[in-house]
Amino acid sequence: MKSAIPYLIAFVVVLIYSLIKGVQKYRQLTGASSPKKNIPGNWSRLDIDVNHCEVKSREYFEEPSEKSPSRIQMLDSIVGRSAPKKHRVVSVVIYKHQFRDGKRQTFKSEPIYEEETNLRYMIMNREGLRLYVDPGDSTNYYFGV
């Protein structure tokens, strides 16, 4: 039994390493990422209430993309059946802000792959949104959704 312990430890280490690499690869492929960490300290932070934002959503269907179809898929295409399409929803948060100097600007978040109602619920649970704006160039900003 004592000789199996080093193998068990090595297996656990390899398993944890594989899981970490898998999550990193998934985030890279799907575009999922953690909040930006490189926000300079001199940027202005605006805390935004979800009721002052507009959330727009769009739905679309996406054809499954595989490099080479399987034999069953090729036979199905001969008889007129096709692979089911994937239903996708993408949302964008829009916020219109008026600065102290009277200038108005519209800020749009990056696409968020979530339905509008789910997105609003997530934002309300976080007690609002954060918008980080570069004071020198207000077109350079980051939405903390």
Q: Report the chain's mean pLDDT, rounded to a whole number.
A: 80
d(CA 135, CA 95): 17
Q: Is the pLDDT of residue 33 over 80?
A: no
Longest dimension (CA), the chain: 75
Q: Contact, 105 vs 96, CB < 8 A?
A: yes
Average of per-residue pLDDT across 92-105: 88
Quote the pLDDT of residue 66: 64
Closest by CA to 88, choosing from 66, 67, 57, 119, is: 57
Res 104 pLDDT > 80 = yes
Please give the share of the chain, as a percent, with pLDDT higher than 70.
83
HSE of 14 in the Cβ direction (CA atoms, 13 Å)?
A: 6
pTM of this prediction exceeds 0.85: no
Q: Specify the pLDDT at position 137.
A: 85
Residue 34 pLDDT class (50, 70, 90 cuts):
very low
Residue 35 has pLDDT above 60, yes or no: no
Listed residue (105, 100, 104, 90) closest to 141, CA to CA = 105
**Residue 106 pLDDT > 70:** yes
- Ranking 32-36, 77-81, 100-104 by mean pLDDT, the lowest is 32-36
CA proximity to 131, closest of 111, 112, 108: 108
